[in-house]
Chains A and B, each alone.
Chain A
Amino acid sequence: MSPSSSIAAEPGAVPAPDEHHEHHPSYLVDGTTVKSWLLTLDHKRIGVMYLIWVLLFFLIGGIYALIVRLELLTPGPTIIDAMTYNRAFTMHGVVMIFLFMIPAIPGAFGNFMLPLMLGAKDVAFPKLNLMSLYLLLSGAVIAIWGMINGGMDTGWTFYTPYSTHTTTTVAPILFGAFIIGFSSIATGLNFIVTTHTMRAPGITWFKMPLFVWAMYATACIQVLATPVLGLVLLLVVGENIFHFGIFDPARGGDPVLFQHLFWFYSHPAVYIMVLPAFGVMSEVVATYSRKNIFGYRAVAFSSLGIAFVGFFAWGHHMFVSGQSTFNAGVFAVLTMLVGVFTAIKVFNWVGTVYKGAVDFKTPFAYFCGFLYFTVFGGMTGVAFATASLDVPWHDTYFVVAHFHFIMVGATIMAFMAALHYWFPKMFGKTYHEGWGLVSAALIILGFNATFIPQFLLGNAGMPRRYYEYPERFQTLNVASTAGASLLAFGFIIAAVYLTYALVYGERASANPWHSRGYEWLTESPPPTHNFVGPQPTYTEEPHFYVEPEKAEVPDAV
């Protein structure tokens, strides 16, 4: 790892100014003023800032979740009144979806890793990248301002005509979500262009890491679906202020049209949340099984397949909206197709682990949890796609449990796996493996304990978004709240040892996992322009392990 020679190995490249310096500081210390962070154009710093913010939003959303769960501890009123409860679950949903799940993996890890994985010095549009972070933050500020000044009680789905009539502060929160949508579009656009134009010589489309494929598919959804959400949010804001009547049946409007437009975005949006998770896991499973991913092309194309059919499945949210039987049938079949593509991935991941030399580190523990949540949550999704089953389950806790299993379970597993897997790369420090495993176990257990009772509650008929419930549901609700506490505890442990590692952790080597992913071909933490010395050559696919190898391979760098 001698910091020598030039970066300019590509044809026509421009000598970078720091070529003449002997020393290549890591991106973390290259400029230490606050301004050098806040106005940075370095994708790695932007990624780190995203990480900090989404963790904060996760905390806010988590506090709302605990309030909701505590309230449901007893059948009657427990800690808050009914209106506050409505606001709490709405804010929980809004914050978690728009401020955590959607930006988290693309914003933090996509930004950091995509250029490294493509052998590029940065994303295609660094200024747009910074702008998308600030768009996210301004949207968040506006939305949080609305939450403090009145809040909103519509649920995160903003269903009309209620949302156009409620006296709570709908407008700023929806407007905030509108701006956050622009941030999402900007990120997606940037990633698509980066993938098309910034690949280093040697990285063909079919030599791109699978995380890049997943980000690419995600970006396509972000670009193609979000504008429609933007429009529909604006319409609701307009309705709420001026009462135009577009979605108001009293004025000839059609509330079901809102649902069509909303779910046209929001169904694909669940793949905006979960596809990045799939991408992370494809990297993790290869690294810790020490095998190249089984069926690379199938995994890559199934991401695109999910992105594609995801656009034609929105109607499964509207099985009970008076849809014709024919429509319901079509949407049911299209929805199940998503299951086929996901199953392709699951089989390939399992095939990768099979006969691999598994190195059971924290990210791999999260991989196991992820596989379980994806399969279990996915199966309940297929069950839901069966229109006749959806009717009794609709708007019960079964729905809540389903989407927490698949979206939240899978995505949180991937987020935590990514955080642990790439922690040494991003910060150049190592964390305590034992604590990592303990907290992973607690989180996975906590998740099960929280949401399995909710499956049972839903099946027994407890509706979602209800403040009070009959006596007979209490045991399961207490179990769920206890599970949520366990979950919170698991996260707190992770927060503690990771923060400790940041400050006191041992220095990580360039490639502590002996991974053959491209992002490990540079130092940890990477220098400002990502690579020192001649650009790495990419002659083999990412994760090209000739045969399952034990961890004694030397550092790749």
Chain B
Amino acid sequence: MQSSSVAGTPGAPHVPHVAAHFASREVQDHAARLGMWLFLATEILLFAGLFVCYANYRFAFPDAFAAASRELDLTMGTINTLVLITSSFTAAMAVHYAKEGQNKQVVWMFVLTILMALGFLVIKYFEYSHKFHVHQLPGPYYAYDKIQLPGVSMYFTIYFLSTGLHAFHVIIGMIVLGWVTLKAMRNEFNHSNYTAVELGSMYWHLVDLVWIFLFPMLYLI
């Protein structure tokens, strides 16, 4: 049930597959891309619910939210933003190299991306542990005596929920990219077969994009 009609790199062990129910490679790739776009839309909607909660409570407790957001570590947040933007760039480079069939470069780019993702999580870990230490925690666990405004625990609830959900996506993204990296190590990609790289890095861009919204929302305003 597999076709090998598309010219692959000579000697490359792998030939692109066309599943039996697709008319052609083009259709199959188109379907994969469209599916990924829809999936990313659902991910954005998932976060959108949290944004709505944020907007609602920021409106209800403006002072508490302003005070609480000054408690976040702006330096760490900024570093993390830069790390993610850079990792998005390396992920994009991976697609570029995959199109040229330079699988080695693809591997490098994704390894860099994954390392940066790891770096992001490490920084996040330090941020979290500080918050735990001073009891800037969600809901009933909030016990930070310097700020005692009504609604301030709500800020930390939303902070932990949204950054936690985002961190979960970072981990999923690392797994996805790791899997694509393995494929690149097996020399699978070439100018006509790079959809997996494209989809993987699309997912990574989403993770980046969500952070681009979370960062100003939580740290800046």
A residues near B (Cβ < 8 Å) are 10-14, 16-17, 115, 120-126, 128, 185, 189-190, 192-194, 196-198, 223-224, 226-228, 230-232, 235, 238, 242-246, 251-254, 257, 260-261, 529
Contact = CB atoms under 8 A, between A and B. Distances in A.
B35 A189 contact: yes
A124 B31 contact: yes
| Secondary structure class of chain A's binding surface, majority of residues | helix
B24 A246 contact: no
A227 B23 contact: no
Most buried by A among B23, B47, B57: B23
B139 to A, nearest CB: 4
A254 B48 contact: no
Contacts of B27: 197-198
B169 to A, nearest CB: 13
Interface in B36-51: 38-39, 41-43, 45-50
Given A14-B1, A242-B138, A245-B139, A251 B50 contact: no
B154 A228 contact: no
A219 B84 CA distance: 33
Contact of B52 (A13, A120, A126, A261): A261
B21 to A, nearest CB: 4
22 contacts: A10-B23, A14-B18, A124-B35, A125-B35, A189-B38, A190-B35, A193-B35, A198-B31, A223-B41, A227-B46, A227-B48, A231-B46, A243-B140, A245-B138, A245-B139, A245-B154, A245-B157, A246-B53, A246-B158, A252-B150, A254-B60, A257-B56
Interface string B75-119: 000000000000000000000000000000000000000000000
A293 to B, nearest CB: 28
Contact of B61 (A10, A14, A16, A252): A252
A193 B36 CA distance: 10
A228 B49 contact: yes
Interface in B152-167: 153-154, 157-158, 161
Contact of B21 (A120, A185, A224, A245): A120
A227 B24 contact: no
Interface in B113-159: 138-141, 150-151, 153-154, 157-158
Interface residues of B, number: 45
B24 A11 contact: yes
Interface of B: 1-3, 5, 18-25, 27, 30-31, 34-35, 38-39, 41-43, 45-50, 52-53, 56-57, 60-61, 138-141, 150-151, 153-154, 157-158, 161
A185 B42 contact: yes
Contact of B20 (A16, A193, A196, A235): A16
A26 B193 CA distance: 35
B41 A242 contact: no
Given A244-B138, A252-B60, A261-B52, A230 B46 contact: yes
Contacts of B48: 227-228
Contacts of A230: 46
Contacts of A254: 56-57, 60
Nearest to A254: B56
A231 B54 CA distance: 13
Given A242-B139, A246-B53, A252-B150, A17 B31 contact: no
Contacts of A124: 21-22, 31, 35
Contacts of B2: 14
The 9 closest A-B pairs by CB, nearest first: A231-B49, A244-B139, A122-B21, A227-B45, A121-B21, A12-B24, A227-B46, A197-B31, A245-B139
A251 B139 contact: yes
A143 to B, nearest CB: 20
Most buried by B among A196, A227, A232: A227
B153 A251 contact: yes
Contacts of B154: 245-246, 251-253
A251 B142 CA distance: 11
A383 to B, nearest CB: 30
A198 B19 CA distance: 12
B19 to A, nearest CB: 8
A125 B60 CA distance: 45
A228 B53 CA distance: 11
B49 A192 contact: no
A352 B169 CA distance: 50
Contacts of A235: 49, 53, 161
A391 B215 CA distance: 43
A252 B150 CA distance: 7
Contacts of B46: 227-228, 230-231
A227 B43 contact: yes
A223 B42 contact: yes
A224 B161 CA distance: 21
Given A17-B1, A125-B31, A246-B53, A227 B60 contact: no
A128 B57 CA distance: 38
A257 B58 CA distance: 13
B38 A223 contact: yes
B141 to A, nearest CB: 8
Contact of B49 (A185, A198, A223, A232): A232
A193 B38 contact: yes
A230 B123 CA distance: 28
A58 to B, nearest CB: 28
Contacts of A126: 19, 21
Given A124-B31, A245-B153, A251 B1 contact: no
A185 to B, nearest CB: 6
B67 to A, nearest CB: 15
A12 B25 CA distance: 9
